[in-house]
Amino acid sequence: MVGIAPEALEKFAESDFKLPSKTFGRGHIAKRADTAPFLFDRKVRGDADIFIKEFFLRDRTVLMLNAQNRQNALVPNYIKIHNPHGKLFPNGSMVGWKHRNQEREFLRELYHRRW
């Protein structure tokens, strides 16, 4: 995760930075419908390192409200977050992400720094 929409940060503040169900989602900066053909339908195939680098570059996400994450919508403006090794908001067991105390504290601190 590389950012959060300001509207999502505001909504988190309303719930004491807990994760209300069905309110938030991760939106991909590069749409997955474009990523799969880019990676698999290329005439010139690169080595595994190039493939993985391209995959991770195109798999970057922004935390946003579900209403902002519609199929053909553009990714909203977002606040960039420093999360180079993905330690914050790691993938959940199936979909979504783990929303632990450290994510809550990170969002709380980000909110108070912004406003």
Which residues are CB-contacts of 102 (< 8 A; sequence separation ≥ 6)? Answer: 88
Extract the residue ranges of the chain whose pLDDT is less than 50. none
pLDDT of residue 104: 96
Summarised one tens digit per residue, pLDDT across range 53-78 is 888 788 889 999 999 988 677 889 99
Give Cα 2 distance to the centre of its chain. 6
Enumerate the domain spans of the chain. Answer: 3-114
